[in-house]
A and B are shown apart, each in its own frame.
Chain A
Amino acid sequence: MTDLVLAWLTVFPGYTVPLLLASLGLVISERAGVLNLCTEGLMAVGAMTGALMALAGYDPLLAVACGALAGAALSLVFGVATVVFRADHTLAGLATVALGLGITGVVGRPYVQKPFDGLPRLSDTVWGADLPRLVGQQNILLPLTVLLLLAVWGWLFRTHSGLRLRAVGEDPAAADVVGIDIQLTQLGAVLASGVLAGLAGAYLSVAAAHVWVEGMVAGRGWVAVAIVIFAGWRPWGVLLGAGLFGGAEAAMLRLQTLGLDFPIYLGAMLPYALTLLVFCIACARRRGENAGPAALGKAYLRQDKH
């Protein structure tokens, strides 16, 4: 039993980190009022770009960085559509997902199922040889993610620019009269979410699987969207939500490898069922209180009659 728990604890961060990164990005973008549904597509592009770079023989860390950049590039398309041209956020988001999945399908086809070295475990690096097993099994992106979580939280709630970003998402008209550039802020927030989603995607291929398979994001982008709502758009809630979903997924796979007779479809369904359950609980508990940034998904034009 302890073995089982220990094994679960070792793989648990691996499942949590990508969800956490993607959800953090969403928190930033949605706190600025941009309803962001394109994470699934951004993650796919990040995963594929990372894998391609790694296959081309570049340093895995560089590959991860390229994945993040690819996510940012695609998010820019979404950002320009919604923020500059004021397209409907939901439609633009869904279109971006389709675009991202399409790109990865076409560009990535020749590289499917080709394993590569990827990001080493901490214990495999020169300076990490005698770390305890639990830590040694992780990779460098885990501490980075923890730092990012702290940074995002501190930025949103302890700095002036964080206050300004939240003001844009709550009440753009009020933000406008105090001289905040609404479009620039929102575009920046979308880009940040793109970087984080791309990073999450690259984690899946370069750090976890060490291979690129089409469809490897497997709905995690959507789970991230759910986590953010569950978390009430708060970074610490996101940590809790990502841990919950990541933990469940890890447990599922552990149980399967143990040879427990478990219908595989039931296992595959679990994240979604859990999403639904968590939603119901979150909604029942909150009753509409704290229902997200007030101007989420609404286009703002100064001359509109309020």
Chain B
Amino acid sequence: MTQGATRSQTPSGPQKKAGQAPALLLRDIDKAFDGKTALSGASFRLDWGEVHALVGENGAGKSTIMNVATGVYAPDHGEVIVDGRDVPLRSPVDAVAAGIGMVHQHFRLVGRFTVAENVALALGGIGRRIGIGKAAQLVKRKSAELGFALDPEARVERISVAEQQRAEIIKVLLLGAGIMILDEPTAVLTQQEAEALLSMARRLAQAGHAVVLITHKLQEVADHCDRITVMAQGRTVLDAAPMAQTSLAQVTRKAFGEVKEQEPVQPGTLGGELLRLENLRVRHGAVTLDGLNLSLRAGEILGIAGVGGNGQSELVACLNGLLRPLDGKIFLADEDLTAASPAKRRKAGLRVVPADRFDSALVRDMTLSENLALTGLESGRFGPWWGLSRRSMKRNAENSLKEFNVLGGGPETRASVLSGGNAQKVLLARELAAGTRVVVAHSPVRGLDLRSARAVLNLLVASARQGAACLLISEDLDEILRMCGSAAVLNRGRLSPPLSGADLNPARLGELMVGHA
């Protein structure tokens, strides 16, 4: 892998022409985890100079096949051919040496280290031992080349997710990767950041790299990718089809079979006020919520738009009872819950679905039946305190899993094994159970595939139709516009008055999201 000479204008990279051996060829890959098949006979073909989309539902095996290509998982069967050569990939370093780099769904950066230290560490792994100062210089030069700012001396845990991602990309490029695999890179980015990332991917491809883009957002695929591979249930169902000759409808059909349409959100008749926030003030770390007022009626789905980090998590924690407000009041149908414990709030019918399914929501290492029973123990449904009834827990789980169409696990499956979408459905099954009056959902479909996303949103619509009040906190404007009759914008800890009707449009929301008001 030679470094290109055109260092100044375009990102340097391998100068490969079309018509040569494919950059990466995976043939007939099988992989099972503890007897559970993740890949069976999957294949993948990537050429130099292209941006190649890899799509498929949650748990289809996209991350797994790319982890095989980067030596993280050893395949049970099949071959990996890099640039025409059959290279044994026994460990991640072998893949790095072969010029394959991956930006994982969960970044592989040491949080306590600075960006430069992370780069020095990675380069040391392939035998290029350089000092931290030299690494910092390399980072600076590379980020200037790619056209974005990144402070090499910053500690990784202190910088934003987008910056961490840039650090990962720079690290991978400095390792000399000609093949760059991006695993759901835009799931954690705002729209502008995503645009910047995708056009950078384009430039890399133009400079001769080969880029794989794993994503659930089909619009990105249509706008930025040259070819597409679709996976379903561990198999490749559409193999490297040119984007120009492929319609998104075709992709959806290949990936999911038939997809239920998003249920229409009818304005319906709104009931009385259920949730009221009065002049809520919260301080937590660098974020301050400044005098939030909000009123939510039965049957309403109110959106809260805004770029992440403007107080969303604090608002959720405050409603959850995990964060005490400095000032202000929380009412649920005239019952003052401001100082109530999480248990009391739950009893009153306030249910919260936080952004991270495994952070103050599901317990990773407990089974689904245990997870689903966890919030109903007090009710005595699962036996008295001295005799937990496994049978009724199991029955409850079976019913919930069926009702919410959870795939990939039964009552005795551990929660951590589920794909993101299915874990989210389990959580909703628990939180939308009987007695729910107000649902607060924070980015409920982040990282979910099209079908799961629709299913989850449909569940929220259904609960609103049954008279619950929903608060949908999301960074995705499309989602807000599709789901909500009215929406407010959270910006720097302040909540705009709700917009509805003709005022509720992307331009107006966008203005409020970036405004300095």
Contact: A179 with B91, CB < 8 Å? yes
Q: Does chain A have a CB within 8 A of B141?
A: no
A 136-187 contacts with B by CB, 8 A: 160, 163-164, 166-167, 170-171, 173-180
In the complex, chain A residues whose CB is within 8 Å of the CB of B110: 166-167, 170-171, 174-175
Instruction: Identify the closest chain A residue to B171 (Cβ).
Output: A178
Contact: A179 with B92, CB < 8 Å? yes
In the complex, chain B residues whose CB is within 8 Å of the CB of A178: 92-93, 96, 121-122, 124-126
Q: Does chain B have a CB within 8 A of A285?
A: no
Distance between Cα atoms of A112 and B107 in the complex (Å): 56
Q: Given the known A-B contacts A170-B111, A177-B108, A294-B111, are A160 and B129 also in contact in the complex, defined by CB atoms under 8 Å?
A: yes
Q: Does chain A have a CB within 8 A of B331?
A: no
Contact: A163 with B417, CB < 8 Å? no
Instruction: Identify the closest chain A residue to B34 (Cβ).
Output: A303
In the complex, chain A residues whose CB is within 8 Å of the CB of B262: none
B 102-151 contacts with A by CB, 8 A: 104, 106-113, 117-118, 120-122, 124-126, 129
In the complex, chain A residues whose CB is within 8 Å of the CB of B92: 176-179
Contact: B109 with A174, CB < 8 Å? yes
Instruction: Identify the closest chain B residue to A168 (Cβ).
Output: B110
Distance between Cα atoms of A173 and B104 in the complex (Å): 11
Distance between Cα atoms of A296 and B478 in the complex (Å): 42
A 276-306 contacts with B by CB, 8 A: 294, 302-303, 305-306
In the complex, chain A residues whose CB is within 8 Å of the CB of B417: 305
Q: How far is the CB of B500 from chain A (nearest CB, A)?
A: 42
Q: Does chain A have a CB within 8 A of B385?
A: no
Q: Which of A164, A176, A306 contacts B106 (CB 8 A)?
A: A306
Contact: A167 with B121, CB < 8 Å? yes
Distance between Cα atoms of A221 and B189 in the complex (Å): 48
Contact: B125 with A179, CB < 8 Å? yes
Q: Which of A167, A176, A179 contacts B113 (CB 8 A)?
A: A167
- Which of A166, A176, A177, A294 has most B Cβ within 10 Å? A177
Instruction: Identify the closest chain B residue to A302 (Cβ).
Output: B72
How big is chain B's contact interface, by range? 20 to 34
Contact: A163 with B120, CB < 8 Å? yes
Instruction: Identify the closest chain A residue to B109 (Cβ).
Output: A174
Contact: B113 with A170, CB < 8 Å? yes
- Which of A163, A164, A166, A175 has most B Cβ within 10 Å? A163
Q: How far is the CB of A295 from chain B (nearest CB, A)?
A: 10
Q: Does chain A have a CB within 8 A of B73?
A: yes
Q: Given the known A-B contacts A171-B111, A178-B125, are A163 and B72 also in contact in the complex, defined by CB atoms under 8 Å?
A: no
Contact: B124 with A303, CB < 8 Å? no
In the complex, chain A residues whose CB is within 8 Å of the CB of B121: 163-164, 167, 175, 178
Q: Given the known A-B contacts A160-B124, A167-B121, A179-B91, are A174 and B129 also in contact in the complex, defined by CB atoms under 8 Å?
A: no
In the complex, chain A residues whose CB is within 8 Å of the CB of B126: 178-179
Q: Does chain A have a CB within 8 A of B416?
A: yes
In the complex, chain A residues whose CB is within 8 Å of the CB of B91: 176, 179
Q: How far is the CB of B17 from chain A (nearest CB, A)?
A: 30
Contact: A179 with B93, CB < 8 Å? yes
Q: Which of A160, A166, A173, A294 contacts B108 (CB 8 A)?
A: A173
In the complex, chain A residues whose CB is within 8 Å of the CB of B112: 166, 170, 294
Instruction: Identify the closest chain A residue to B414 (Cβ).
Output: A305
Q: Given the known A-B contacts A179-B91, A179-B92, A305-B417, are A160 and B111 also in contact in the complex, defined by CB atoms under 8 Å?
A: no
In the complex, chain B residues whose CB is within 8 Å of the CB of A176: 91-92
Q: How far is the CB of B384 from chain A (nearest CB, A)?
A: 33
Q: Does chain A have a CB within 8 A of B386?
A: no
Q: How far is the CB of A301 from chain B (nearest CB, A)?
A: 11
Q: How far is the CB of A241 from chain B (nearest CB, A)?
A: 21
Q: How far is the CB of B72 from chain A (nearest CB, A)?
A: 7
Q: How far is the CB of B188 from chain A (nearest CB, A)?
A: 15
Contact: B113 with A160, CB < 8 Å? no
Instruction: Identify the closest chain A residue to B106 (Cβ).
Output: A306
In the complex, chain A residues whose CB is within 8 Å of the CB of B108: 171, 173-174, 177
Distance between Cα atoms of A305 and B118 in the complex (Å): 23
- Which of A160, A179, A294 has most B Cβ within 10 Å? A179
Distance between Cα atoms of A177 and B177 in the complex (Å): 14
Q: How far is the CB of B64 from chain A (nearest CB, A)?
A: 10
Q: How far is the CB of B95 from chain A (nearest CB, A)?
A: 9
A interface vs B, CB < 8 Å?
Answer: 160, 163-164, 166-167, 170-171, 173-180, 294, 302-303, 305-306
- Could you list some 14 contacts between A and B, CB below 8 A? A160-B120, A163-B117, A166-B110, A170-B113, A171-B109, A174-B107, A176-B91, A177-B96, A178-B124, A178-B125, A178-B126, A179-B92, A179-B96, A302-B73
Identify the 6 closest CB pairs spanning chains A and B, nearest first. Answer: A179-B93, A178-B125, A179-B125, A177-B92, A174-B108, A178-B122
